[in-house]
């Protein structure tokens, strides 16, 4: 409601061709899809290549954070 706090656009369309997928994030702000104070990211690339990299990075960060948390817990219990 009232726009998203976060947004990542991943596509291979260019804005010059007039397609919706080629629109810049500021267009989404004007439509109310993204909040004006959000920090959107637009990635130009082939989704079948880029998306797995983004997903893998997300899992690695989550795993590393959990591993660090466990290490801190073990240190406190000694």
Q: Using CA atoms, how far apart are residues 75 and 16, in angstroms rounded to an integer?
A: 56
Neighbours of 24 (CB within 10 A): 11
Query: Strand pairing partners for 9?
Result: 42
**Where does the pLDDT of residue 5 fall: very low under 50, low under 70, confident under 90, or very high at 90 and above?**
very high
Instruction: Identify the weakest region by mean pLDDT among 2-6, 35-39, 63-67.
Output: 63-67
Helices in 1-78 by DSSP H: which ranges? 25-30, 47-77
Which tops the pLDDT comparison, 69 or 30?
30
SS3 call for 66 = helix
- Catalytic position from the list 33, 42, 70, 78: 33
Neighbours of 28 (CB within 10 A): 20
Q: Could you read off the pLDDT of 15-61 as tens digits, one per residue? A: 776 666 678 888 888 888 999 999 999 898 999 999 999 999 888 88
Give residue limits of the domains in the chain: 1-45, 47-78
- The pLDDT, as a whole number, for residue 76 is 53
Q: What is the pTM of this model?
A: 0.61
33 is catalytic: yes
């Amino acid at each position: 409601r009232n726009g998203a706090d976060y947004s990542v656009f991943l596509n291979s369309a260019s804005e010059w061709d007039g397609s919706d997928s080629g629109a810049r994030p500021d267009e989404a702000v004007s439509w109310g899809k993204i909040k004006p104070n959000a920090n959107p990211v637009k990635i130009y690339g082939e989704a079948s290549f880029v998306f797995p990299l983004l997903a893998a990075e997300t899992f690695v960060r989550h795993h590393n954070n959990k591993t660090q948390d466990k290490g801190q817990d073990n240190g406190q219990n000694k």
